[in-house]
């Protein structure tokens, strides 16, 4: 039996905090103005938009906190570091937005039975300013939304709030020229119904990571086939693929090598290089064996097994 270890580090680039800070400052300032305006104009649509603006502010603040905490080095108690905090933040944002949407729907139902008088002029001006703030924030966050589930959560909330601002503007115009006060509550309901499915999508994605699910951009069948296609690989078993946080996929696998296989270091290097090049996996643990170990079973093995002995491990980070 032989064992050898090698370490390489492939860490993604750090996230840019400046756009998040700018967006946080703008949304916080406008949140206060919109909430006060909603109360003064008696507009539930504005208050609804302010509630979503609050979740935008919370999402941005938590995103910044997650980035700071995620930079902490791993320690003896948290050997993977603090990267997972980003996913917890995204899940918290989703739950918060879900609760706010439910509250707005309930309040809108109450108001539909007794529509209050709405000051549509002030409502229109505040909603227009909110739309400008949302568009600027979306622009700032768009660059990082595809590489971070946490930033994506903040982007989705700002995006949904932008649609809410558009709805409030249309509602204010309709109320101004028709006097239909019930439109205000209808707009609030529309905002809530629009946000809920997207909130569920974010929550589901966060829970998938927390439950060690296979990353969405990884096809396990393709990974299996790629490993089995390498010269010297007879079979594989005990294959696990998961992600620590957005963009940080991890893999562990036991590989049974064939008789005339390359030497241990050469085979390990070829597996590691293939996983990094084809699947962008840099945090991998590969154990080479001459025969399947006790963890092998009919439900985990892929390919024929050999009847020799020996094993070799490799870790890549």
What's the confidence (pLDDT) of residue 95? 84
| Residue 69 tokens, joined | 């905490």
List, for the chain, all residue ranges whose pLDDT scores fall below the cut of 70.
1-16, 52, 55, 70, 74-81, 115-116, 144-151, 153-154, 157, 246-247, 260-261, 294-317
What's the confidence (pLDDT) of residue 144? 66
What's the confidence (pLDDT) of residue 175? 84
Contacts made by residues 237-240, CB under 8 angstroms, sequence distance 24+: 237/292, 237/295, 237/296, 237/297, 237/300, 237/301, 237/302, 238/293, 238/295, 238/296, 238/300, 239/300, 239/302, 240/212
What's the confidence (pLDDT) of residue 317? 54
What's the confidence (pLDDT) of residue 2? 35
CA distance 251 to 249: 7
What's the confidence (pLDDT) of residue 310? 44
What residue ranges do the domains of the chain occupy? 18-210, 220-316
- Judge whether 256 and 234 are in contact, CB under 8 Å: yes
What's the confidence (pLDDT) of residue 98? 82
DSSP 76: S
Structure pTM? 0.63
At 277-287, the pLDDT tens digits run 888 888 888 88
**Does the 220-316 domain belong in CATH 3.40.190.10?**
no
| Residue 167 tokens, joined | 């709805």
Which residue do the tokens 């905002």 mark?
191
| Class of domain 18-210 (CATH, top level) | mainly alpha
């Amino acid at each position: 039996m032989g064992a050898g270890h090698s370490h390489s580090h492939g860490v993604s680039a750090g996230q840019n905090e400046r756009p998040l800070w700018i967006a946080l400052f703008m949304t916080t300032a406008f949140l206060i103005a919109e909430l006060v305006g909603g109360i003064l104009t008696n507009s539930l649509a504005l208050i609804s938009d302010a509630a979503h603006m609050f979740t935008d502010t919370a999402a941005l603040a938590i995103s910044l906190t997650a980035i700071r905490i995620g930079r902490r080095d791993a320690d003896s108690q948290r050997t993977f570091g603090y990267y997972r905090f980003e996913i917890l933040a995204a899940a918290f944002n989703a739950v918060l937005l879900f609760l706010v949407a439910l509250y707005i729907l309930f309040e809108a139902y109450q108001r539909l039975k007794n529509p209050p008088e709405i000051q549509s002029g002030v409502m229109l001006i505040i909603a227009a300013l909110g739309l400008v703030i949302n568009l600027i924030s979306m622009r700032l966050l768009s660059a990082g939304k595809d590489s971070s589930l946490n930033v994506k959560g903040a982007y989705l909330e700002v995006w949904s709030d932008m649609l809410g601002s558009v709805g409030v503007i249309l509602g204010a115009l309709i109320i101004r020229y028709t006097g239909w006060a019930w439109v205000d509550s209808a707009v609030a309901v529309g905002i809530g119904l629009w946000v809920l499915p997207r909130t569920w999508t974010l929550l589901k994605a966060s829970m998938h990571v927390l439950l060690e699910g296979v990353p969405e951009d990884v096809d396990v069948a393709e990974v299996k086939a790629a490993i089995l296609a390498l010269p010297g690989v007879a079979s594989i078993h005990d294959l696990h693929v998961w992600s620590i946080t957005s963009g940080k996929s991890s893999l562990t696998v036991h590989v049974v090598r064939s008789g005339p296989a390359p030497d241990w270091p050469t085979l390990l290097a070829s597996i590691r290089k293939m996983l990094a090049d084809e699947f962008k996996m840099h945090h991998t643990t590969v154990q080479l064996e001459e025969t399947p170990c006790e963890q092998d079973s009919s439900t985990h093995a892929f390919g024929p097994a050999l009847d020799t002995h020996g094993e070799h491990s490799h870790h890549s980070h």
